[in-house]
Amino acid sequence: MDNGASSYRRFLEGDNEGFVEIIRDYKDGLMLYLNGYVHNIHIAEDLMEDTFVKIYAKRPRFVEKCSFKTWLYTIGRNIAIDYLRKEGKHSVTSIYGMENILADEISLERSYLNREEAVELLCLMGKINVLYRQALYLKYFEGLSNEDIGRVLKKSNRQVENLLYRGKQSLREKLEEENRNT
């Protein structure tokens, strides 16, 4: 049992401190994960908050078939997909607004990852296929197992293995391309 599951169980039993622990432990990672879908750190922050509001208000049942983190990220993913369906994939943002959004996104990534190489890698990952990026992010930045990644992305274990393999290949190609251009 991971810490999130025990905190959530305590929250369901009436201990609001359990919910505070969940937010503290998962908010940054969830926000960066959701940013991979919406490409706007402010919207990702709103979606992260919506995820926690949904858990707080509806108190969905957590069945321990997967880790708490997998369960939470799946809820967040579904909220992000609903948002994209409602808003459409293309939103209009001014160039000045984009500068602020990118600055906030980079700032959060730096504080969360706390390593220059990881930030560069994350920026490079933004240039590859969305599914490859999501699978790689969940595997290497969030530490989820292939089985848990499959649950979040709604893919079979074999599909996850393929996504990870192809994602690494694509990332390698982008890295070689960047090296040639410098």
CA-CA distance, 178 to 180, in Å (whole number)?
Answer: 5
For residue 80, what pLDDT band results from cuts at 50, 70 and 90?
Answer: very high
Query: How high is the pLDDT of residue 150?
Result: 95
Instruction: State mean pLDDT over 130-155.
Output: 92
Q: Which residues contact 167 (CB under 8 A, 6 or more apart)?
A: 128, 129, 131, 132, 133, 135, 136
For residue 96, what pLDDT band results from cuts at 50, 70 and 90?
Answer: very low
Instruction: State mean pLDDT over 144-160.
Output: 95
- Residues written for the chain: 182
The mean-pLDDT minimum among 32-36, 110-114, 140-144, 160-164 falls in 110-114
Is 90 exceeded by the pLDDT of residue 122?
A: no
Query: How high is the pLDDT of residue 109?
Result: 61
Does domain 1-114 sit in CATH 3.40.30.10? no
164 within 8 A of 128, measured Cβ to Cβ:
no
**Fold entry, domain 115-182:** Arc Repressor Mutant, subunit A (1.10.10)
Is 50 exceeded by the pLDDT of residue 1?
A: no
- Is 105 or 163 the better-scoring residue by pLDDT? 163
Q: What is the pLDDT of residues 12-71, one digit of tens each?
A: 999 999 999 999 999 999 999 999 888 889 999 999 999 999 999 999 999 888 899 999
Instruction: Tell whether the torsion through CA atoms of 126, 156, 72 and 88 is positive or negative.
Output: positive
Angle (CA) 85 88 90, round 5°: 150
For residue 126, what pLDDT band results from cuts at 50, 70 and 90?
Answer: confident
| Residue recorded with tokens 């880790």 | 67
Domain ranges of the chain: 1-114, 115-182
Query: How high is the pLDDT of residue 111?
Result: 58
**Predicted model pTM:** 0.68
CA-CA distance, 40 to 108, in Å (whole number)?
Answer: 12
For the chain, the maximum distance between any two Cα atoms, rounded to a whole number of angstroms, is 57
CA-CA distance, 68 to 91, in Å (whole number)?
Answer: 32
